[in-house]
């Protein structure tokens, strides 16, 4: 049967209950990803009342329920199985915020492809990824799941991940339907509090939050998930303007719109629906196809039909899109095509090697004073201390996929494997603790939530042991930071420092090491930038590891020992203090830019304006000198393009890979433009002492802006091209360019 005739044939035979079943997705309980827990859906599947499942993993359990749907329900429509394969499935890759810093679209696609192969082998056909929410507020926990603060980088990330997950042909046995989430502007929640209201200008929406989703659509993403949040009072789950009018009608998106967990029912709590039937009607009319876990379509739409609030044509349109996606996934042709066989060991081994490569390329060297890294040949005794030194499960990050079959490699395990001849001793010193413990004094009162199970106070012996190790080591590796669940969903923080009593411990370690002239290398684990200027000051070197995944310890050892040079950059600005937030490089200029010598300028009385580390910061083991910035044209029309080149010399003692960024800023424009706009990036690997040239391409179309009427325009005038290693203007080399109308 052809795709259209099969779908239309089914539609003509389906009862209302069976139609609403195809618009329903229920959780199967392999893991819990939301506040409402579903029971066993087997009977509902048999009756055709549930046509889609999330959180069911494993070839056997998937086949068992697929068999119920295909062989025991009246119409035999196969189930769609979905899961959060965010940064790996069984083999875990670095969290997206870390991997974004690799600035390597080919790598992003490869890790997504590997994750898809593993998830499909477990019977999964859809992943709730990539998460594409631009994030500029580190208090919000979900920045860890996304590509950082910049829309251009996020857009490149979006396209690569969609291509990786979907593999170019959804009928492949190892293809996953990707879901671009959470549409949109979820990263701009009030005060960084998860699920809180969002209110951004239409201009910011179009310039910052929508571009990654448009890039995902351009790459053929199969589905979109609206955010839990409202946008200026209209919840995205019922946003006709952004779903029906923009996605469907203006952009012609024919894929599936699947809600977030229980989101339709929460329209009642948003205050825009009186009951479940009204909530269901609002979501359906806005363009939603699948109701995840609220039961609103299944139980509310019959009443909405009776009330005349919806019509059957709209329901049929949604069912048609869901059945069409199942057809595109090849589920009708072979419902059991995914999950037939376990992956060969050689494939898993290749994925572990990729996880190690990706982790190495996602570690950001923030500081390396006196070039204490990489470790030298004279290293004999190494102290590895801190609560994250031997914490393999924490390395997985907040979306650990199906749970790695074998636990991730811890820091201590990685270092012992890499340095067999070195005496390595390890002690945690203190527990990770909780965020509340770190701020209890400031808050002077119980937090608004039941106290997390605070870790037990450190056993005196372990604290003394850890500090004692610093007395006899040649170097100290201090592993501190957040636990995996202190970022991700429902994990906002009001402060950005180390949890628990880690600060006191870290200060004690640094004091003892400094007294002996012994270097301290901090390995910092977190799902967000942390405001730890005191730690950066006290340590000799700081490596931001984020959550590196299955091969965490091996990759960290590779970089600390110099087997691999650090090359990653931070994809998000690091504030000095939470009071500076939101702090990002793409801010529009003030009429009174900060000037320490002029009181009447945009700054604080008590904090610097500059970040701890700017977007794009990341050291290598090389030292690069930039010269000869030039372009192959001085003027550009909209349809033209140009190449910007810069020469680099690696004056360091080690080979290294440098990333060069191209930013722009028009000297004048009808609407004030951000201080810097990222337009391109490129890399060059140079041996010690070697020279090379980096060339970056810029199309005239990349210089279009949104006019006062929010319509795209190509405004003539002078533009600065700024080239350099990060979004710090003092480190950028500037070249002028003239934009001119065609035919001038
Ligand atoms: C969660 C998250 C979403 C995830 C979904 C299914 O609440 O918001 O990102 O994909 O539910 O687990």
If one residue of 38, 260, 488, 492 were mutated to test the ligand 1 pocket, choosing by the most ligand atoms within 8 A of its CB, it would be 260
Which of residues 522, 540, 567 is at a domain's end? 567
Atom of ligand 1 at shortest range from CA of 82: 6
Residue among 388, 429, 433, 386 nearest 409 (CA): 388
Q: Which residue is it, tokens 């090491």?
A: 513
Residue 604 is given by DSSP the state -
Residue nearest to atom 11 of ligand 1 (CA): 261
CA distance 194 to 188: 9
Beta bridge partners of 643: 697
Q: Which residue is it, tokens 């003027």?
A: 635
Residue that wins the pLDDT comparison between 459 and 335:
335
Q: Does residue 183 have its Cβ closer than 6 Å to ligand 1?
A: no
Amino acid 447: pLDDT: 53
517: CATH: 3.40.50.1700
- Which range (38-42, 369-373, 615-619) has the least confidence? 38-42
Task: Clarify whether 260 is annotated catalytic.
Answer: yes
Residue among 141, 97, 246 nearest 184 (CA): 246
pLDDT tens profile 48-100? 999 999 999 999 999 999 999 999 999 999 999 999 999 999 999 999 999 99
Residues 410 and 542 in one domain: yes
CA distance 490 to 608: 30
Q: Does residue 136 have its Cβ closer than 6 Å to ligand 1?
A: no
Residue nearest to atom 3 of ligand 1 (CA): 260
Q: Does residue 34 have its Cβ closer than 6 Å to ligand 1?
A: yes
Q: Which residues contact 281 (CB under 8 A, 6 or more apart)?
A: 273, 300, 301, 304, 307, 309, 310
Alpha carbon of 84 to ligand 1 centroid (Å): 7
Q: Which residues contact 308 (CB under 8 A, 6 or more apart)?
A: none
What are the structure tokens assigned to 7, written together?
A: 């779908």
Beta bridge partners of 297: none
Amino acid 556: pLDDT: 98
Q: Which residues contact 463 (CB under 8 A, 6 or more apart)?
A: 429, 430, 505
CA distance 704 to 543: 38
Q: Does residue 31 have its Cβ closer than 6 Å to ligand 1?
A: no
pLDDT at residue 2 is higher than 70: no
Whether 610 is covered by a domain: the verdict is no
CA distance 553 to 550: 8
Atom of ligand 1 at shortest range from CA of 128: 10
Alpha carbon of 141 to ligand 1 centroid (Å): 13
CA distance 436 to 454: 9
Alpha carbon of 75 to ligand 1 centroid (Å): 29
Amino acid 172: pLDDT: 95
CA distance 456 to 458: 6
Q: Does residue 54 have its Cβ closer than 6 Å to ligand 1?
A: yes
pLDDT tens profile 102-146? 999 999 999 999 999 999 999 999 999 999 999 999 999 999 999
pLDDT tens profile 106-117? 999 999 999 999
The mean pLDDT of 281-286, rounded to a whole number, is 98
Percent of the chain with pLDDT over 90: 92
The mean pLDDT of 149-165, rounded to a whole number, is 98
pLDDT at residue 299 is higher than 80: yes
What residue numbers bound the domain in which 434 lies?
363-439+455-567
Strand pairing of 541-544 and 624-631?
A: unpaired
Atom of ligand 1 at shortest range from CA of 179: 10
φ, ψ at 37 (rounded to 5°): -105, 135
Whether 143 is covered by a domain: the verdict is no
688: CATH: 2.60.40.10
Q: Does residue 203 sit in helix, strand or coil?
A: helix
Residues 685 and 561 in one domain: no
Q: Which residues contact 319 (CB under 8 A, 6 or more apart)?
A: 11, 14, 19, 22, 23
Residue 672 CB neighbour total at 10 angstroms: 12
Residues 414 and 500 in one domain: yes
Whether 381 is covered by a domain: the verdict is yes
Residue 402 CB neighbour total at 10 angstroms: 21
Residues 542 and 631 in one domain: no
Residues 543 and 414 in one domain: yes
- Which range (172-186, 391-405, 500-514, 565-579) has the least confidence? 391-405
Residue nearest to atom 12 of ligand 1 (CA): 33
Q: Which of 137, 260, 289, 390 is catalytic?
A: 260
The mean pLDDT of 555-583, rounded to a whole number, is 98
Residues 403 and 506 in one domain: yes
Residues 367 and 501 in one domain: yes
Which of residues 567, 585, 612 is at a domain's end? 567
Whether the Cβ atoms of residue 180 and residue 227 lie closer than 8 Å to each other:
no
Say whether the peptide bond before residue 9 is cis (omega within 30 degrees of 0).
no
Whether 415 is covered by a domain: the verdict is yes
The mean pLDDT of 267-283, rounded to a whole number, is 98
Amino acid 39: pLDDT: 83
Whether 491 is covered by a domain: the verdict is yes
pLDDT at residue 744 is higher than 80: no
Whether 590 is covered by a domain: the verdict is no
pLDDT at residue 630 is higher than 50: yes
pLDDT tens profile 344-396? 999 999 999 999 999 999 999 999 999 999 999 999 999 999 999 999 999 99
Alpha carbon of 33 to ligand 1 centroid (Å): 6
Say whether the peptide bond before residue 182 is cis (omega within 30 degrees of 0).
yes
The mean pLDDT of 675-680, rounded to a whole number, is 98
Which of residues 567, 585, 604 is at a domain's end? 567
Residues 638 and 724 in one domain: yes
Alpha carbon of 55 to ligand 1 centroid (Å): 10
Alpha carbon of 53 to ligand 1 centroid (Å): 13
Atom of ligand 1 at shortest range from CA of 33: 12
pLDDT at residue 1 is higher than 70: no
Residues 414 and 515 in one domain: yes
CA distance 651 to 643: 25
Q: Does residue 489 have its Cβ closer than 6 Å to ligand 1?
A: yes
The mean pLDDT of 220-238, rounded to a whole number, is 98
Confidence of residue 610 (pLDDT cuts 50, 70, 90): very high
CA distance 609 to 579: 10
Whether 691 is covered by a domain: the verdict is yes
CA distance 387 to 130: 31
Ordered DSSP codes for 7-37:
HHHHHHH--HHHHHHHTEEEE-SSS--SSS-
Q: Count up the domains in the chain and report the number.
A: 2
pLDDT at residue 629 is higher than 60: yes
Terminal CA-to-CA distance of the chain, rounded, Å?
57
Residues 707 and 637 in one domain: yes
Residues 425 and 531 in one domain: yes
Whether the Cβ atoms of residue 621 and residue 654 lie closer than 8 Å to each other:
yes
Question: Which DSSP helix (H) or strand (E) runs through 164?
Answer: helix 151-166
Q: What is the CA radius of gyration of the chain?
A: 26
CA distance 684 to 656: 8
Looking at every residue in the chain, the average pLDDT score rounds to 95
The mean pLDDT of 449-470, rounded to a whole number, is 69
Q: Where are the beta strands (DSSP E) in 311-444?
A: 364-368, 381-385, 423-427
Amino acid 453: pLDDT: 44
φ, ψ at 400 (rounded to 5°): -80, 25
If one residue of 141, 489, 490 were mutated to test the ligand 1 pocket, choosing by the most ligand atoms within 8 A of its CB, it would be 489
Ordered DSSP codes for 416-434:
HHH-TTSEEEEE--S----
Question: Which DSSP helix (H) or strand (E) runs through 476?
Answer: strand 475-481
CA distance 523 to 534: 15
The mean pLDDT of 427-449, rounded to a whole number, is 75
Q: Does residue 128 have its Cβ closer than 6 Å to ligand 1?
A: yes
Residues 463 and 369 in one domain: yes
- Which range (47-51, 310-314, 487-491, 739-743) has the least confidence? 739-743
Amino acid 31: pLDDT: 79
Percent of the chain with pLDDT over 70: 96
Residue among 571, 670, 496, 659 nearest 144 (CA): 571
Alpha carbon of 137 to ligand 1 centroid (Å): 20
Whether 170 is covered by a domain: the verdict is no
């Amino acid at each position: 049967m052809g795709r259209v005739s099969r779908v239309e044939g089914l539609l003509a035979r389906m009862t209302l209950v069976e139609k609403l079943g195809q618009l329903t997705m229920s959780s199967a309980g392999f893991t819990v990803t939301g506040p409402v827990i579903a029971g066993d859906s087997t009977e509902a599947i048999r009756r055709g009342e549930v046509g889609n499942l999330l959180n069911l993993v494993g070839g056997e359990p998937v086949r068992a329920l697929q068999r119920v749907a295909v062989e025991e329900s009246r119409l035999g429509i196969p189930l769609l199985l979905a899961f959060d394969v965010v940064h790996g499935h069984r083999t875990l890759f670095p969290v997206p915020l870390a991997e974004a810093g690799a600035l390597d679209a080919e790598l992003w696609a490869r890790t997504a492809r590997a994750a898809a192969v593993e998830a499909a082998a477990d019977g999964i056909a859809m992943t709730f990824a990539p998460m594409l929410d631009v994030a500029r507020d580190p208090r919000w926990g979900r920045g860890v799941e996304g590509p950082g603060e910049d829309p251009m980088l996020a857009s490149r990330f979006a396209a690569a991940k969609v291509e990786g997950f979907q593999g170019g042909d959804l009928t492949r046995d190892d293809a996953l339907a990707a879901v671009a989430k959470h549409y949109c502007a979820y990263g701009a929640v009030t005060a960084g509090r998860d699920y809180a209201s969002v209110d951004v200008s239409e201009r910011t929406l179009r310039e910052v939050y929508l571009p990654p989703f448009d890039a995902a659509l351009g790459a053929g993403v199969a589905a979109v998930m609206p955010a839990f949040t409202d946008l200026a009072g209209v919840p995205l789950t019922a946003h006709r303007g952004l779903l029906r009018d923009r996605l469907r009608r203006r952009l012609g998106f024919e894929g599936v719109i699947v809600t977030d967990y229980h989101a339709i029912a929460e329209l009642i709590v948003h205050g825009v629906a009186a009951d479940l039937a009204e909530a269901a009607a609002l979501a359906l009319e806005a363009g939603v196809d699948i109701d995840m876990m609220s039961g609103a379509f299944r139980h509310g739409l019959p009443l909405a039909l009776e009330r005349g609030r919806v019509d059957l044509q709209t329901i049929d349109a949604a069912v048609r899109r869901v059945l069409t996606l199942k057809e595109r996934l090849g589920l009708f042709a072979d419902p059991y095509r995914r999950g037939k066989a376990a992956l060969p060991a050689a494939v898993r081994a290749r994925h572990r090697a990729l996880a190690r490569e990706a982790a190495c390329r996602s570690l950001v060297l923030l500081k390396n004073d006196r070039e204490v890294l990489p470790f030298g040949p004279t290293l004999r005794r190494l102290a590895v201390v801190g609560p994250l030194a031997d914490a393999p499960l924490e390395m997985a990050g907040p979306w650990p996929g199906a749970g790695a079959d074998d636990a991730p490699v811890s820091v201590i395990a990685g270092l012992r494997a890499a340095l067999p001849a070195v005496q390595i001793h390890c002690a945690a010193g203190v527990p990770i603790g909780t965020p509340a413990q770190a701020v209890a004094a400031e808050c002077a009162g119980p937090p608004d939530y039941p106290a997390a199970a605070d870790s037990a106070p450190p056993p005196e012996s372990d604290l003394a042991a850890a500090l004692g190790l610093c007395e006899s080591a040649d170097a100290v590796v201090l592993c501190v930071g957040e636990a995996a669940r202190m970022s991700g969903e429902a994990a906002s923080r009001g402060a950005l420092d180390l949890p628990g009593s880690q600060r006191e411990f870290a200060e004690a370690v640094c004091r003892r090491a400094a007294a002996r002239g012994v270097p301290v290398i901090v390995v910092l684990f977190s799902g967000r930038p942390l405001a730890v200027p005191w730690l950066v000051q006290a340590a000799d070197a700081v490596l931001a590891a984020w959550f590196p995944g299955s091969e965490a310890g091996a990759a960290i050892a590779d970089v600390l020992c110099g087997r691999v040079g650090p090359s990653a950059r931070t994809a998000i600005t690091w504030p000095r203090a939470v009071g500076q937030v939101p702090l990002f490089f793409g801010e529009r200029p003030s009429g009174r830019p900060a000037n320490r010598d002029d009181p009447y300028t945009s700054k604080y009385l008590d904090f610097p304006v500059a970040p701890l580390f700017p977007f794009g910061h990341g050291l290598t083991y090389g030292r690069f000198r930039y010269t000869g910035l030039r372009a192959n044209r001085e003027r550009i029309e909209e349809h033209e393009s140009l190449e910007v080149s810069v020469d680099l010399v690696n004056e360091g003692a080690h080979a290294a890979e440098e990333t060069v960024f191209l930013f722009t800023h028009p000297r004048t424009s009808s609407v004030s433009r951000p201080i810097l706009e990222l337009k391109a990036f490129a890399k060059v690997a140079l041996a010690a002492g070697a020279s090379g040239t980096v060339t970056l391409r810029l199309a005239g179309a990349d210089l279009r802006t949104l006019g006062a009427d929010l319509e795209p325009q190509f405004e003539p005038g002078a533009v600065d091209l700024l080239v350099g290693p990060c979004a710090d203007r003092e480190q950028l080399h500037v070249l002028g360019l003239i934009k001119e109308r065609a035919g001038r």
